[in-house]
Chain A
Amino acid sequence: METIKDIINTLTAPEILITLATILLFVSAKYRHVFYTNTVALVLFPAMFVFMAISMFDEDFYLIVTKPDNVPIVGMLFLIPFFTWFSMREAVRNDRRTDSGTPLIEKEETADKVLTWPDLVYTELIAIVLLTVLLVGWSILIPAPLEESANPAATPNPSKAPWYFLGLQEMLVYFDPWLAGVVFPGLIIVGLMAIPYIDTNPKGNGYYTFKERSWEIMTFLFGFLILWVLLVILGTFLRGPNWNFFGPYEYWDTHKLEALVNVDLSDYFWVRLLGMGRPDNILIRESVGFLVVLGYFLIPPMVLARTIFKRFYENLGPARYHIMVFLLLCMASLPIKMVLRWLFNLKYIIGIPEFFFNI
């Protein structure tokens, strides 16, 4: 038992968890005919449930899961995988129909117009009744959390934002607040709103499909499931005092020490590579970083337009194409920075604390 717990504690370390989840996402999409089937769901979801249930016997696990306001996230742990699985299953079924020339599931009924009363109104009524029962039951069973009265002098450790913002708080590990808390949220909103204008693929409008829009779906699912939901879960369950990582069966020890050995790019370049001191002039000191960041945003769009994104460039035209690639590069910057941190302990690519300008 203890060894299993230890293995799970190790496997849930951020770098391993995020990597494994990403691999799972892409592998399951590749073998979607096998993975997104009823059989898998009938094994997977009960297994998840049993796993949770057994884990509840572990004291530390129980403490984390039942912390105030963590209850809904346990629900989310099931709901989001379930609906992802469900929509992919529908997509796989529809793709199979397209391949064999049978009409789509939705298509079979598009011509049928039914009366809203009773068909839709009754569905809604039933949904309302069930949801009311659920909410009232939930509310009777679990009281809303309330801690001691607010006290500005007693900072809890860890201090956490509300759970839906913990993805952003988790980003703080890799980026400064101006990026993680302001620029990236802004870009997420803008990026989401831009989707209909940069995805000009006319196929897959109004029905589930994977084959006809695999690239869009994988980008969205990676962004939503890994960079959003998984980071929320990580921030909620696996980050303890001082925002240190704690496995699900690990005691939240306030004195756990994690060596902070993060190094700036300028250090790597001037001190370690050239063997000299860092220049005093900020601009010279950070010139490498500026080159890297500029190169990151300038070179890939041009290279991609001639290679794998050629089709996009031709279909979208320059304006839409460059906006799309810019947004994708911003999104990709998070996993890239993560990997650089995990592998090289890289702290800042550009580090100008004097002006709070750290990337």
Chain B
Amino acid sequence: MSQLKELLTSLSPTKLGEAIQKSQIYRSVFRVGVPVSDRKRMLVMLGNVFLHLHPVKVRKSGIRLRFTWCMGGITFFLFLVLTFTGLLLMFYYRPTIEYAYVDIIDLREQVPLGIMREIHRWGAHAMVISVWLHMVRVFMTGSYKPPREFNWGVGVILLVLTLLLSFTGYLLPWDQLAMWAITVGSNMARATPFAGYEGPGANLLTLGENIPLISSTSDARFALLGGTRVGEMALLRFYVLHCVGLPLVAGFLMAVHFWRIRRDGGISGPL
């Protein structure tokens, strides 16, 4: 009887927890252990590469929800969600005119738990809104003022990248919505001054006497679409930009953005 009791206590969650925490495996993974003391709470921030994004201590006013609305953090989290769901979508999606649309249908009808496309799409819309709101917050608290001028600039580029990511992704389902939204959007490039064939100044640029330098097959729109209309090449181009090019640049700039927040003295506050 007493033996059984001993066995049971040794199996109790607390005991089990202690045993796990003492094991070599646990200690090799979580160097600091459960952050119960202030010392450990500081060490955990220093020892973990992800938490290390943050300083060990922060000003209380700066992390108030009423101050930041957590909007930058929400934007970043949405970016991570989009990266993850996007990766899953890439397993199924082939960027060719032949397959793109049917693959999207299959995603809904054949794939178990087929809401990845939903999360990806709604998350993308949410990110556009959250990045706008983040900008409003930074403006309304005057946080772009010295020493944070540069980081505001980085932020503006991140905003543009967010829109471009969303725009390039819009084409991929290859439905009517996609094709015509991108057609309308990319038609603007046709009017680029000097670089679009319907842009002001373009017909001043000629090769020799009267061979136009800028035509519908050599202008800014052509470079964007890889063709004179939204077709096969545009799909491939947008796919590569959407899945590789733009996320890399955005990720890189986010690293700069976060680094600079800390170098500029953390979240802003009154002096």
Which residues of the other chain, B, contact A176 by a CB distance below 8 angstroms? 191
**Of all chain B residues, which has the CB nearest A183?**
B193
The docked-state distance in angstroms from the alpha carbon of A192 to that of B157 is 10
Tell me the interface secondary structure of chain A in the complex. helix
Chain A residues with a Cβ closer than 8 Å to the other chain, count: 96
Of A110, A169, A180, the contact of B59 (CB 8 Å cutoff):
A110
Question: Contacting chain B: which of A15-23, A196-204, A280-288, A328-336?
Answer: A196-204
| B153: Cβ under 8 A from any A Cβ | yes
Of B58, B74, B269, the contact of A127 (CB 8 Å cutoff):
B74
The docked-state distance in angstroms from the alpha carbon of A146 to that of B178 is 9
A159 touches B184 (CB 8 A): yes
The docked-state distance in angstroms from the alpha carbon of A96 to that of B97 is 61
The docked-state distance in angstroms from the alpha carbon of A195 to that of B159 is 15
Q: How large is the interface on B (under 10, 10 to 19, 20 to 34, 35 or more residues)?
A: 35 or more
Question: Contacting chain A: which of B10-18, B23-31, B62-70, B245-253?
Answer: B62-70
B35 touches A159 (CB 8 A): no
Tell me how far the C-beta of A66 lies from the nearest C-beta in chain B, rounded to whole angstroms. Answer: 14
The docked-state distance in angstroms from the alpha carbon of A356 to that of B219 is 15
Contact with B along A229-251 (1 / 0, CB 8 A): 10000000000000000000000
The docked-state distance in angstroms from the alpha carbon of A105 to that of B145 is 19
The docked-state distance in angstroms from the alpha carbon of A156 to that of B60 is 53
**Of all chain B residues, which has the CB nearest A180?**
B188
Residue pairs across A and B with Cβ atoms less than 8 A apart, 18 shown, are: A83-B69, A83-B137, A114-B60, A115-B57, A116-B57, A117-B45, A135-B126, A139-B115, A146-B105, A147-B175, A150-B174, A156-B180, A159-B181, A196-B152, A196-B153, A204-B142, A205-B268, A208-B140
**Which residues of A does B touch, CB under 8 Å?**
68-69, 71-72, 75-76, 79-80, 83-84, 86-88, 90-91, 104-110, 112-121, 123-124, 127-128, 131-132, 135-136, 138-140, 142-152, 154-156, 159-162, 164-165, 168-169, 176-178, 180-183, 189, 192-193, 195-197, 199, 201-209, 213, 217, 220, 224, 229, 355-357
